[in-house]
């Protein structure tokens, strides 16, 4: 029985594929406080989870636009698991008290998670649109251009409602042909479509299973937002955020913005 290959003429193949050396060179704390490394690395890990969730949501959109509902369920189920990993990342900061955070907070200056471009992409894909939130990126032309395009593009929910319209559900034109730069407004007709879908809860009904997969994603994203709020309250209380936001107050208001609203309101009717 042969052992693993231990000698390579050039770079170790694992490092060449994963770029582990590059990843481990990206942690550059600004203070001498050992706790800052946790804060920095957990933030970077979350950025990777944001990017992965966006990748899967775009795949979901591609499949929905091809009317492949069965196919769209698979990436949504993966996203749920990715978001569970994202939520679990907060555990790496549960040790942090206000005194712990204050030891290096001043080094952050105006830097804040509020300024995450990838998180904005994730929100836009989930239908949470707000044009003002891309303003911080105006001086970074590539980021600003990408976010402007994402703001104007249909969200996953827009692609879901367009697919329902193609399948004969009575979805009004003001829903399917709306201005995608504006945050989605719930529609009674879309709610009625989901009530009808959920009344056929057979295991071979792809629309019912799609609804449950979307609900899982919305719930897991809500869990992350709630954990974000509690992490901020635990380390900062109600102090203003480092990037000029109102901190916990802003996050509390954000929780009220519902993802895939009619999937939730339809449950009251069913």
Q: Is 228 annotated as a binding residue?
A: yes
Asked if residues 175 and 192 have their Cβ atoms less than 8 Å apart, the reply is no
By C-alpha distance, which of 76, 31, 43 is closest to 57?
76
Buried b (16+ CB within 10 A) or exposed e, 66-105: eeebeebbebbbbbbebbeebbebbeebeebeeebbebbb
CA distance 116 to 236: 19
Q: Which two tokens stand for residue 116?
A: 């995450």
Concatenated DSSP letters of 220-246:
HHHHHHHHHHHHHHHHHTTPPPTTSS-
Q: Which residues contact 58 (CB under 8 A, 6 or more apart)?
A: 125
Binding-site residues for heme: 228
Binding-site residue numbers are 105, 228
Binding residues for substrate: 105
């Amino acid at each position: 029985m042969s052992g693993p290959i231990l000698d390579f003429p050039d770079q170790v193949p694992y490092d060449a594929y994963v770029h582990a050396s590059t990843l481990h060179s990206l942690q550059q704390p600004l203070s001498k406080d050992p706790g800052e490394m946790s804060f920095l690395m957990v933030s970077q890990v979350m950025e990777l989870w944001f990017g992965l969730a966006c990748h899967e949501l775009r795949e979901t959109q591609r499949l929905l636009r091809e009317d492949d509902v069965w196919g769209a369920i698979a990436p949504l189920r993966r996203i749920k698991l990715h978001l569970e990993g994202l939520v679990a990342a907060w555990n790496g900061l549960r040790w942090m008290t206000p005194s712990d955070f204050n030891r290096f907070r001043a080094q952050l200056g105006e830097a804040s998670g509020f300024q995450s471009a990838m998180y904005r992409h994730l929100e836009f894909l989930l239908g949470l649109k707000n044009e003002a939130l891309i303003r911080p990126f105006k001086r970074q032309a590539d980021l600003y251009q990408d976010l402007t395009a994402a703001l104007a593009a249909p969200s996953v929910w827009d692609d879901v409602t367009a697919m329902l319209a193609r399948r004969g559900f009575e979805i009004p034109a003001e829903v399917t042909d709306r201005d995608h730069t504006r945050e989605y407004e719930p529609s009674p007709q879309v709610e009625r479509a989901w009530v009808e879908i959920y009344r056929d809860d057979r295991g071979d009904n792809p629309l019912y299973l799609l609804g449950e997969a979307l609900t899982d994603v919305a719930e897991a994203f809500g869990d992350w937002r709630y954990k974000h709020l509690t992490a901020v309250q635990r380390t900062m209380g109600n102090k203003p955020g480092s990037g000029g936001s109102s901190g916990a107050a802003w996050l509390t208001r954000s929780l009220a913005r519902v993802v895939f609203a009619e999937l939730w309101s339809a449950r009251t009717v069913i």
